[in-house]
Amino acid sequence: MIIDAKGLILGRIAGLAAEQALRGNTVIIVNSAEAVISGRTKSTIAKGKKRQEIGVVKQGPYTPKKPAGLMRRAVRGMLPWKKARGREAFSRVKCYEDYPEDIKGEVLQVPEKIKATKLTTLKRITLGELCIAVSGAKGKNK
């Protein structure tokens, strides 16, 4: 299953990807920098900065700084990570910030029920904007 995350809600993409991975399907998420997080921009950025500041440099915890890493981490949060089937399912999930060359011709799925246009609020920020605001990491081509 290949999901185009452009204009989709982050948590719902993660839930869908986790569900498919637990069923044994390989899940590829492209355009992860264009995924949307709902909520006020300032509070979302403040939460991201607080998460980056937790811990010690040499001991962790280490948080991803690029959009693809944050997307993968969101999917991991939806899986039973401490069990073997959760770890196996997580290994079937791949996230990219843009389209990789090997899947250029593949058919992308854009589920209608998880689009950001379904949100009742206009308060939102994309995952790429969050990464730039929190850590300055722009990703591959941005």
At residue 142, the pLDDT reads 43
Q: For residues 124 and 44, is the Cβ–Cβ distance under 8 A?
A: no
140 falls within a domain: no
142 falls within a domain: no
At residue 138, the pLDDT reads 67
- The rounded distance, in Å, linking the Cα atoms of 67 and 126 is 9
141 falls within a domain: no
- CA-nearest of 114, 117, 112, 110 to 74 is 114
At residue 79, the pLDDT reads 94
The packing angle between helices 67-77 and 10-22, to 10°, is: 60
71 falls within a domain: yes
At residue 117, the pLDDT reads 65
Q: For residues 61 and 35, is the Cβ–Cβ distance under 8 A?
A: no
Q: What are the distances in angstroms from CA 8 to CA 57, 102, 135?
A: 33, 23, 22
Per the prediction, the chain carries an average pLDDT of: 85
For residue 48, the enclosing domain spans 2-135
How many domains would you assign to the chain? 1
99 falls within a domain: yes
pTM above 0.85, yes or no: no
CATH code assigned at 24: 3.90.1180.10
What are residue 38's DSSP bridge partners? Answer: 124
Tens digits of pLDDT across the chain (142 residues) = 888 888 888 988 999 999 999 999 999 999 888 899 888 888 888 888 888 888 787 887 878 888 999 999 999 999 998 999 999 999 999 999 888 888 877 777 777 777 776 676 778 788 888 888 887 766 665 4
Neighbours of 57 (CB within 10 A): 6
34 falls within a domain: yes
At residue 140, the pLDDT reads 61
The CA angle 102-103-107, to the nearest 5 degrees, is 160
Neighbours of 69 (CB within 10 A): 18
